[in-house]
Amino acid sequence: MRNLLALIVACALAAWSGTALAQERSVQGQPGQTSKPAKTVPAPASININTATAVELEALPGVGAATAARILEYRQKNGGFKKIEELMNVRGIGEKTFLNLKALIVVAPPRGGA
The Cα-based distances of 20 to 16, 25, 28, 66, 83 in angstroms read 6, 9, 12, 55, 56
Task: Decide the pairing of beta strands 47-48 and 105-106.
Answer: parallel
Domain identity same for 53 and 101: yes
Whether 52 and 101 map to the same domain: the answer is yes
What is the average pLDDT across 43-68? 92
Return the pLDDT at 109.
76
| Domains: count for the chain | 2
Residues 51, 24: one domain? Answer: no
Domain that holds residue 98: 47-106
pTM: 0.59
pLDDT of 67 above 70? yes
Question: 56 and 90: one domain?
Answer: yes
- Is residue 97 pLDDT above 80, yes or no? yes
State whether 54 and 94 are in the same domain. Answer: yes
Confidence at residue 42, expressed as pLDDT on a 0 to 100 scale: 45
Shared domain for 65 and 99, answered yes or no, is yes
In a domain, 3, yes or no: yes
Residue 95 lies inside a defined structural domain of this protein:
yes
